[in-house]
Amino acid sequence: MSFWLEALIVLVVLSNLRVLGASRIDACVRTVAFQGVLLGLLPLLAHSDALTVRLFLQAGASTFIKALVFPWLLGRAVREAGVQRETDPFVSYTASLAAGILFLAVALWLGARLPSAGAEELRLLVPVALFTILVGLFIIVARRKAVTQVLGYLVLENGIYTFGMAFAEKQPLLVELGILLDVFVAVFVMGITIYHISREFDHIDADRLSELRD
């Protein structure tokens, strides 16, 4: 495994911990955008010995959507909702970071026991993908604001994308682009929903939405 690929994997892990420990929503959006840049470079570094036009297209489409389009949509939703911080999460930030360390240990343990279907030098991508998926799921259930839960959804998708990168040689480009398109539509609809909720109510707390009546 190349030095740059190892450095990229470390940065993905640190970005996950950053999202778990940050209370400012705009900082979380920038961190997820940075993670999108890292994942855009991932197919080029993971398969640097067999670069193809398909890999470049995949990297370009992924970087454009994850690092530019999604952060722009979420940043716009945050500005229009006037929300700066996740002030009262269901799980505190200290406990979230502790859970993140536990998730990392579990992911490394599972990754070491799963059979490898890709190249041997890409085995470390599997635990990183599992760790990112667990972090995304945790953010969805541990945060109160709807926009932060959307960020958790994006981190979850980044984990699925990383998992696919371990086997990119065997995945059709159209499947990857189809997944990115689905996520784009989901984030676009969520952004519009958050905007309209913030216009009608003075909060975007997901747990209080169940109190709405006709």
- Chain segment 8-28, per-residue pLDDT in tens: 999 999 999 999 998 898 899
Q: For 110-167, write each residue's pLDDT tens digit.
A: 888 877 655 666 678 889 989 999 999 999 889 888 788 888 888 988 888 888 776 6
pLDDT of residue 174: 55
Distance, C-alpha 163 to centroid of its chain: 12
Cα distance between residue 100 and residue 131, in whole Å: 8
Residue 195 has pLDDT above 80, yes or no: no
The residue ranking higher by pLDDT, 44 or 213, is 44
Distance, C-alpha 91 to centroid of its chain: 19
Residue 195 φ/ψ, nearest 5 degrees: -60, -45
Contact between 139 and 105 (Cβ < 8 Å): no
pLDDT of residue 35: 92
User: What is the arithmetic mean of pLDDT over 26-37?
Assistant: 91
Distance, C-alpha 37 to centroid of its chain: 11
Residue 169 has pLDDT above 60, yes or no: no
Using alpha carbons, list the distances in angstroms from residue 14 to 20, 63, 86, 100.
10, 19, 20, 10
Distance, C-alpha 4 to centroid of its chain: 21
Residue 172 has pLDDT above 70, yes or no: no
Residue 1 has pLDDT above 60, yes or no: no
Both tokens of 141, joined, read: 């259930």
Closest C-alpha among 155, 168, 166 to residue 35: 155
pLDDT of residue 196: 65
Q: Work out the pLDDT band at 185, boundaries 50, 70, 90.
A: low
Cβ-based neighbours of 109, under 8 Å, separated by 6 or more: none
Largest CA distance in the chain: 59
Q: Is the pTM of this model over 0.85?
A: no
